[in-house]
Amino acid sequence: MRAEANTIFSVRSRRGQRGFGLVNSFLLSGAAVLLVWGGLYVGKYGGRFDGDEYSEIPHGRPAKVVAGSEDPNAKVLKLGARVFQNCAACHQADGNGDPSKNVPPLAGSDWVLTESPNRIIRIVLNGLGGPITVKGTPFNGGAMNPWRKTADNPSGLTVEEIAAVLSYARNTWGNKAGIISVDQVSAIAKETEKRTDPWTPDELLKVPLTGGATASAALTPDQLKAALKAMPADALDALLKDVKK
Ligand code: HEC
């Protein structure tokens, strides 16, 4: 390396051009300054002009691992399966209920599969009694106990457990319906916290299936008219079109 450099300089100096060494060192130091400036410039303003920009492990951080076992729904359904042991005594592990004891099925039940959770959350919180039709079959004389956790019912279920067991019932035995969130259960638990009686199916059929957790407060015709009048004309048109569909 050194010998090589010496050769270059010695060849040039042997030519006897006195000024050449000076110019050469000017050029050299100029180039060096440019190089350093360029390096600093790219370092400062080069954005992600990094050697490992396209590496899967940027800056030595491991790439985020997306594992199937971390699926939050799988976790909920696992908890739901455990909680369902409380329900299986009546509704049976296969979800088919026990018609000889007036216990209706959860498998294929329209009550379970209805997309809005407004009614089934109420059933589990407060219990149910009274004539009910499930999958076209009438059941009469059965009673389901309440599962709301209170001072009087300390062995009840938490809102997390109720969300999980209902999500499980909606996605087992061939059932397929949306996962029920803890927020949905909490909202309805709050809305019905003063209620101690079990529901009757007739009462529940009046609970609207729209509007999330806000159920029982129906508008009077006058209130509805006022609300519609307050809407911008194009929004009202869109709403009417949607309702008529
Ligand atoms: C003591 C027995 C018993 C237990 C325990 C029980 N249920 Fe019920 N359940 C019933 C009966 C009986 C009915 C029907 C009530 C009626 O006739 O009005 C019913 C109705 C229902 C319904 C609505 C009708 C249908 O078949 O879809 C749902 C949903 C339901 N139960 C879910 C549950 C869940 C979830 C659990 C566990 C947290 C549970 N039940 C625990 C007896 C029980």
Token readout for 127 is 């219990």
Q: What is the mean pLDDT of residues 102-127?
A: 98
Which residue would you say has higher pLDDT here, 70 or 238?
A: 238
Give the pLDDT confidence score for residue 3 in this predicted structure. Answer: 47
Do 161 and 243 touch, CB atoms closer than 8 A?
Answer: no
Which residue would you say has higher pLDDT here, 19 or 229?
A: 229
Nearest to 121 by CA among 154, 74, 153, 169: 169
Measured between alpha carbons, how far is 156 from 196 in angstroms, rounded to an integer? 13
Does the pLDDT of residue 233 top 60, yes or no? yes
Rounded percentage of the chain residues whose pLDDT exceeds 70:
66
Pocket probe for ligand 1: among 90, 113, 148, 155, the residue whose CB has the most ligand atoms within 8 Å is 90
3 CA → ligand 1 middle, Å? 94
Q: State pTM to two decimals.
A: 0.66
Do 132 and 139 touch, CB atoms closer than 8 A?
Answer: yes
123 CA → ligand 1 middle, Å? 8
112 lines ligand 1 (CB under 6 A): yes
Domains and CATH numbers, the chain: 70-229 (1.10.760.10)
165 lines ligand 1 (CB under 6 A): yes
Q: How confident is the model at residue 240 (pLDDT cuts 50, 70, 90)?
A: confident
Q: What is the mean pLDDT of residues 167-194?
A: 97
State phi, psi for 175 to the nearest 5 degrees. -70, 145
- Mention every residue, 6+ apart, whose C-beta is less than 8 A from residue 109: 134, 135
| Position in ligand 1 atom list of the atom nearest CA 145 | 1
Q: What is the pLDDT of residues 187-203, one digit of tens each?
A: 999 999 999 999 999 99
Quote the mean pLDDT of the chain: 81
Token readout for 46 is 């080069």
